[in-house]
């Protein structure tokens, strides 16, 4: 078993999730299931050659390990080489080089935590939805609040899956969508998730004193704004962050 080499994997399925994102599901041969075993929040590295150039990109698994499924969501970035190729050219049945799962953005250090606060923006939802599913399915004592920032309603990645989880785990999972380009309902749920917004959310939609852990996945600026906001709310939970270092909304 070698976790640092690439394996050629078949893409079993490609599903369009929003107008600018696709979800790829890989077929993992039985002989490779332990090499590709993963924790919620880890990512795969994909490798291909485009216009003679070898490129490698990381994509978080959006499935939970117990689903026995390996899927990644790739959002098309303007002018982006790999994400455009994946959205426009890959087909089911194609093979692609994939490095086994890695990454430290996992729930490992939260074994004793009960109340989880999650913030995601755009495609930053991918590792977060994997973790939320994992907690809901396997940690019956966990309670989850998710704030999810997007441009508008139609750009919400995994909207239906999130809604279904919310309905299935009523009382344990609450979600608040925040839009930058569409105003629905209260002002609080409109605009970018910056420090002031985080503070305002903590004064009305979540109780900082109740939270034990916080996971954030999104652009750099949002991550640091949220951390600042949480600190000024007097909240010092264990915080984990994943920065994609690319524009994600």
Ligand X SMILES: Cc1cc2nc3c(=O)[nH]c(=O)nc-3n(C[C@H](O)[C@H](O)[C@H](O)COP(=O)(O)OP(=O)(O)OC[C@H]3O[C@@H](n4cnc5c(N)ncnc54)[C@H](O)[C@@H]3O)c2cc1C
Q: Which is nearer to ligand X, 233 or 242 (CB)?
A: 242
Q: Say if CB 219 and CB 123 are below 8 A apart.
A: no
Least CB distance to ligand X at residue 146 (A)? 16
Least CB distance to ligand X at residue 229 (A)? 23
3-state secondary structure of 135: helix
Least CB distance to ligand X at residue 4 (A)? 16
Q: Which is nearer to ligand X, 36 or 43 (CB)?
A: 43
Q: Which is nearer to ligand X, 82 or 110 (CB)?
A: 82
Could you list the residues that contact ligand X (CB under 6 A)? 43, 57-60, 72-75, 77-84, 103, 123, 126, 244, 246
Return d(Cα 142, Cα 138) in angstroms, integer. 9
Least CB distance to ligand X at residue 32 (A)? 21
Q: Which is nearer to ligand X, 1 or 55 (CB)?
A: 55
Return d(Cα 197, Cα 225) in angstroms, integer. 9
CB atoms within 10 A of CB 104: 11
Q: Which is nearer to ligand X, 30 or 78 (CB)?
A: 78
Q: Say if CB 130 and CB 61 are below 8 A apart.
A: yes
Q: What are phi and psi of 44, to 5 degrees?
A: -105, 150
Beta strands in 38-171 (DSSP E): 43-50, 53-60, 71-75, 95-102, 115-121, 143-150
Least CB distance to ligand X at residue 147 (A)? 18
List alpha helices for the chain, DSSP H: 81-88, 125-138, 159-168, 195-204, 220-232
Q: Which is nearer to ligand X, 19 or 141 (CB)?
A: 19
Least CB distance to ligand X at residue 25 (A)? 14
Taking CB atoms, the residue at the shortest distance from ligand X is 80
């Amino acid at each position: 078993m070698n976790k640092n080499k690439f394996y050629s994997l078949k893409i079993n399925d490609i599903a369009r999730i929003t107008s600018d994102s696709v979800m790829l599901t890989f077929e993992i041969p039985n002989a490779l299931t332990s090499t590709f075993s993963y924790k919620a929040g880890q990512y795969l590295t994909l490798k291909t050659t485009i216009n003679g150039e070898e490129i490698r990109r990381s994509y978080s698994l959006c499935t939970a390990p117990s689903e026995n499924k390996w899927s990644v969501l790739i959002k098309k970035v303007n002018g982006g080489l790999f994400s455009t190729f994946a959205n426009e050219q890959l087909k089911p049945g194609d093979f692609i080089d994939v490095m086994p799962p890695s990454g430290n953005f996992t729930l490992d250090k939260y074994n004793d935590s009960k109340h989880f606060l999650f913030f995601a923006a755009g495609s930053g939802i991918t590792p977060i939805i994997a973790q939320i599913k994992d907690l809901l399915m396997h940690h019956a004592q966990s309670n989850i609040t998710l704030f999810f920032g997007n441009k508008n309603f139609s750009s919400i990645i995994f909207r239906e899956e999130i809604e279904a989880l919310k309905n299935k785990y009523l009382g344990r999972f609450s979600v608040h969508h925040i839009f930058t380009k569409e105003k629905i309902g209260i002002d609080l749920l409109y605009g970018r998730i910056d420090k002031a917004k985080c503070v305002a959310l903590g004064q009305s939609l979540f109780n900082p004193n109740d939270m034990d852990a916080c996971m954030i996945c999104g652009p750099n600026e949002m991550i640091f704004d949220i951390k600042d906001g949480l600190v000024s709310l007097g909240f010092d939970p264990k915080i984990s962050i994943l920065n994609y270092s690319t524009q994600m909304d």
